[in-house]
């Protein structure tokens, strides 16, 4: 068991990462929500010369990379599920901080927690504090969303939409018409539009998978030492 000083350091370190990711995630979401219309694309409509990276504003009701559960009930289920996962993760991080675990393990759990919390904030509060976002039009001027009095927004509590904007169309493949099944179709990589929170969850899970063996070895070694003692 670590002493109280190291325990506090680990907890501060982990929650500082969570806070840092949340600030970046929410800052970008609020800027996009307040300055762009749905479907507005930084490459098509701004003086933006980078083709492989675009800010492309969309909203969705659900999970990472635009996936969702249908209907109001699906939205409530998903939001409550996120809340349960985050609560579990916070308690687990505090418990984990008391053990001699690699920093990379704390970082991975911090990233997963921050990502889930970032999208939960959208779902819980954006409907209460933002006016609705309208679809972009090249013909007429469309005003972006703006902050409203609490409860005067576009949706109720737990019914807010998640803001996505990161789009990486790295390359496009046009399949020849004479090819079976895919003939004439267009394949884009990477097509899903996501946000910082989605990225944080994905990277956190990848780190967890990559370093789980190292963590298990350390845990086994500590167990053997305790048994000897």
**Catalytic positions, written as ranges:** 164, 198
Tokens linked to 169: 């169309």
If we measure between CA atoms, which residue out of 180, 213, 181, 27 comes closest to residue 104? Answer: 213
The Cα–Cα gap between 18 and 11 comes to 11
What is residue 87's three-state secondary structure? helix
Inter-residue contact 124 to 79 (CB < 8 Å): yes
CA quadruple 105, 168, 64, 148: dihedral positive or negative? positive
The Cα–Cα gap between 165 and 36 comes to 10
Q: What phi and psi values does residue 136 have, to the nearest 5 degrees? A: -65, 145
The Cα–Cα gap between 148 and 169 comes to 34
Tokens linked to 106: 């704390």
The Cα–Cα gap between 9 and 103 comes to 11
């Amino acid at each position: 068991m670590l002493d109280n000083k190291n325990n506090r350091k680990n907890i501060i370190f982990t929650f500082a990462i969570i806070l840092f990711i949340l600030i970046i995630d929410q800052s970008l979401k609020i800027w996009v929500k307040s300055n762009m219309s749905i479907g507005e694309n930084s490459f098509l409509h701004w003086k933006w010369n980078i083709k492989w990276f675009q800010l492309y504003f969309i909203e969705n009701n659900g999970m990472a990379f635009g996936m969702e559960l249908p209907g109001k009930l699906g939205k409530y289920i998903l939001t409550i599920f996120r809340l349960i996962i985050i609560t579990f993760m916070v308690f687990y991080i505090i418990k984990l901080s008391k053990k001699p675990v690699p920093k990379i393990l704390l970082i991975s759990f911090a990233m997963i927690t921050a990502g889930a919390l970032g999208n939960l904030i959208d779902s819980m509060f954006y409907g209460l504090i933002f006016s609705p976002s309208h679809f972009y039009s090249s013909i007429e001027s469309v005003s972006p969303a703006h902050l409203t009095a609490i409860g005067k927004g576009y949706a109720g509590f737990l019914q807010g939409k998640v803001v996505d904007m990161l789009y990486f169309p790295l390359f496009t493949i046009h399949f020849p018409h004479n090819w079976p099944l895919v003939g004439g179709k267009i394949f884009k990589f990477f097509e899903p539009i996501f946000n910082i929170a989605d990225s944080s969850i994905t990277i956190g899970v990848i780190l967890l998978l990559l370093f789980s063996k190292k963590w298990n070895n350390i845990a086994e070694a500590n167990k053997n030492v305790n048994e000897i003692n």
